[in-house]
Amino acid sequence: MVGAGPTGLTVAGLLARLGVSVTVLDRYPQPYPRPRAVHLDGEAVRVLQRLGVHERFAAISRPATGLRLLDASLRPFATFRRDTGPGRHGHPDANLFDQPDLEAVLREAVGREIGPVRGGVEVTGVDAGGVVTRHTATGRVERIPAAAVLGCDGADSTVRSLIGSRMRELGFTQRWLVVDLRCPDAGGTWGGVDQVCDPRRAATFMHLVGDRYRVEFRMHDGETDAGLAARLPALLAPWFPPGAPTVLRSAGYTFRAQVADRWRAGRVLLVGDAAHLMPPFVGQGLGAGLGDAHNLAWKLATVLAGRADESLLDTYQAERAPHVEATTRTAVRVGRAMTGGNGLLAAVRRPVVGGLLRLPGAEARALSGTTTRHPPGRWVDRRTRRSDLPGTVCPQPFVDVDGRRVRLDDVLGPGFSLLCAAPADGALARRARAVGARTVALAGSGADRVVTDDGTLREWLAGGRAAAVLLRPDRVVMGVTPGR
């Protein structure tokens, strides 16, 4: 694993849980301290649940209560309230946190499974047999053998360059100043995110957790990080009492929209920011990396164990790239609507922004219609035309099992599973046996587990005209038995 960012740590933890021996290398001895992600959706937290860190994530995050759009005078012109309870994926749909806190949780949890990250080790070469590294303190060169190499090395990925992959531009570049602050009391925030839709100075303000806040300001051509940072007291004045906030970090970022043209060369694969970059307006960049990790870990583990041929690895980019590109295009549309144009155009766009914007109540809408269904193939059987479930992700309600109330994934287990409202037909049952699926039934007997839920799963199956579904380890529907 090249890179101990959140993506690298997550895929390392998932692989370790599937019995794969993993080493994580990073050029820095300590986690990256600059301000970055502050939001994860429920689907991303579901991936953290696979690592067993969702409760610790809950302790360092809080559900967001909604989104307000403000005009240039900071008057709200639209408010979108967000339910803070568990959503479709069994966790709140919008969660605010501070990325270094998440990285600390991941380092500790993953470290317990695979040992500590090897920091101060820079990867300079890669081939089918492993990586070449340089110890940053001593300059010593070392070759580390590996059966597979995952480039989780972020936006300026060395592994990406080494395999000859190039970033494809999706046409968006903006510079923003991102500021993290501590303030004992900012004077009663409402629990959600404020988005200033002012083309002269678009801005975002949000209370994260405890006394932590994030404010972001769009920078204009000719402005420098230092120049805008010097004006922070005036820029922050509307949000905080005078002298109250302490600036913890302030950094200029160029937000880009790019997707790598090639995510794999043999057993060298790109994951997370190494494979794609998106502006943070829908809060999905890191979530996309965790989604990559979830999609890839079981595939790589299966191939390494000799239970599938290498072609399974081809499905990784085929499944993830269309989704990531669609999400990135949504983020670009939202960013442009929020920040672009003066006068009438900006006024017309404002209500549109409301339906799209980053975070609470919003990104579900932002992404509905863009979340792609995985393409058909050996691992997504879409030949049953009556059901449109294959290639989509199963919801995660709470279920009752043996007198306990747990989230569905905890019952489904780490591998494949056959989820049945009625018996599976012969073909699906054979397929399930071949991949060693655990059977989970919504009623009856003879299954490995019988669960009852609040009706979510029956409704989902009935809506997709399915009696039973075979789920892959990443909870994507692989095949169905059609229902009535």
Ligand X SMILES: Cc1cc2nc3c(=O)[nH]c(=O)nc-3n(C[C@H](O)[C@H](O)[C@H](O)COP(=O)(O)OP(=O)(O)OC[C@H]3O[C@@H](n4cnc5c(N)ncnc54)[C@H](O)[C@@H]3O)c2cc1C
The footprint of ligand X (CB under 6 A) covers 2-8, 25-28, 32, 36-40, 99, 122-123, 152-154, 158, 178, 253, 272-273, 280, 283-287, 289
Q: How is residue 461 written in tokens?
A: 């199956």
Q: How far is the CB of 178 from ligand X (least distance, A)?
A: 4
Q: Which is nearer to ligand X, 7 or 387 (CB)?
A: 7
Closest CB to ligand X: residue number: 5
Q: Which is nearer to ligand X, 148 or 152 (CB)?
A: 152
Q: Which is nearer to ligand X, 78 or 144 (CB)?
A: 144
Q: Please name every residue paired with 468 in a beta bridge, in sequence order, or none if there are none.
A: 420, 481
Dump strand ranges (E) for 330-370: none
Q: Please name every residue paired with 118 in a beta bridge, in sequence order, or none if there are none.
A: 25
Q: Which is nearer to ligand X, 153 or 453 (CB)?
A: 153
Q: Which is nearer to ligand X, 98 or 453 (CB)?
A: 98
Q: Which is nearer to ligand X, 277 or 346 (CB)?
A: 277
Give the type of residue at 318: A
Distances 377 to 46, 299, 366, 435 between C-alpha atoms, Å:
25, 14, 28, 16
Q: How far is the CB of 332 from ligand X (least distance, A)?
A: 14
Q: How is residue 184 written in tokens?
A: 């004992």
137: which DSSP letter? Answer: T
In angstroms, the CA 362 to CA 93 distance is 10
Q: How far is the CB of 394 from ligand X (least distance, A)?
A: 22
Q: Which is nearer to ligand X, 2 or 203 (CB)?
A: 2
In angstroms, the CA 150 to CA 255 distance is 24
Q: How far is the CB of 450 from ligand X (least distance, A)?
A: 37
Q: How far is the CB of 273 from ligand X (least distance, A)?
A: 4
Q: How far is the CB of 351 from ligand X (least distance, A)?
A: 23
The residues, any chain, with a CB within 8 Å of residue 317's CB and separated by 6 or more, are: 262, 263, 264
Does residue 182 contact residue 245 with C-beta atoms inside 8 Å? Answer: yes
Helix segments in 127-239, DSSP class H: 158-162, 225-230, 232-236
Q: How far is the CB of 13 from ligand X (least distance, A)?
A: 13
Return the SS3 of 315: helix
Return the SS3 of 456: helix
